[in-house]
Amino acid sequence: MKIRTTTLADAQAIFNIQKKTWLNTYPNEKYGVYAKDIAEKFADEERVISKIGRWLSSDNQDHQGWVAKDGDKVIGFARTYRKEDKIMLGAIYVLSEYQRQGLGKKLLEKVLEFQDRKKDKIEAIWLEVAIYNNKAINFYKKAGFELIKGSEGKFKVGEGKFIPTIKMKLII
Ligand SMILES: CC(C)(COP(=O)(O)OP(=O)(O)OC[C@H]1O[C@@H](n2cnc3c(N)ncnc32)[C@H](O)[C@@H]1OP(=O)(O)O)[C@@H](O)C(=O)NCCC(=O)NCCS
């Protein structure tokens, strides 16, 4: 398995991995979020890929993505960016058949290394996670992130449909 920084040519592979992991992760009966709601977010493939392409080609110095590969196959992905005054961990996705093999941890290390080596020293890295995504919450807690009480929010997945979220932060 190899990890390298992203190029514009990774847009399609990132789309594929994002769609797969979202379909595995976000449907939740209790919150009325169904596979079809998630699938709809990816229905206009061309539009989503061009959106991915826009941030892959961003020249923002706080912004970076990585892909993990098994041979030619993209099996994981991570990205970090700045949102106002906060450095964000935007995403870490590992295909289900490659999970629990240390890949998520390696991708997270790349993000932390990248943000930590910059001159304008940062104090923390933030993320937003679905409150029912226990797998990810456990993964982030193991890495030292803490849940921020009172930071609950919503991520829109369709008309009147929301994934409930909470923020986590890691002091570095
Ligand atoms: C969360 C995710 C990125 C973790 O990636 P991973 O490659 O499986 O994680 P690692 O193998 O590096 O795990 C590191 C440690 O995190 C913890 N961990 C990982 N998955 C866990 C799980 N399902 N349950 C409990 N702890 C877990 C463990 O302590 C693990 O160490 P161990 O394997 O020695 O027990 C992966 O499950 C994933 O891609 N999920 C779907 C997409 C997603 O929800 N992304 C986060 C969006 S905010």
Q: What is the CATH number of the domain that holds 35?
A: 3.40.630.30
Q: What is the pLDDT of residue 85?
A: 86
Q: What is the pLDDT of residue 158?
A: 86
Q: What is the pLDDT of residue 135?
A: 97
Residue 93 CA, closest ligand 1 atom number: 39
Report the number of distinct structural domains present in the chain: 1
Q: Are 155 and 28 in contact (CB under 8 A)?
A: no
99 lines ligand 1 (CB under 6 A): yes
Q: What is the pLDDT of residue 44?
A: 97
Q: How big is the CA angle at 124 (ends 15 and 94), to the nearest 5 degrees?
A: 25
For residue 156, the enclosing domain spans 2-171
Q: What is the pLDDT of residue 159?
A: 87
Q: What is the pLDDT of residue 122?
A: 78
Residues near 29 by beta carbon (within 8 Å), at least 6 away in sequence:
none
18 lines ligand 1 (CB under 6 A): no
Q: What is the pLDDT of residue 23?
A: 98
The Å distance, Cα 148 to ligand 1 centre, comes to: 20
Average pLDDT of each block of 10 consecutive residues along the chain (172 residues)?
96 97 97 96 97 93 95 96 91 97 98 82 91 98 97 93 97 90
Which one-letter amino acid corresponds to residue 41? K
135 lines ligand 1 (CB under 6 A): yes
Provide the whole-model pTM: 0.95
Q: What is the pLDDT of residue 18?
A: 97
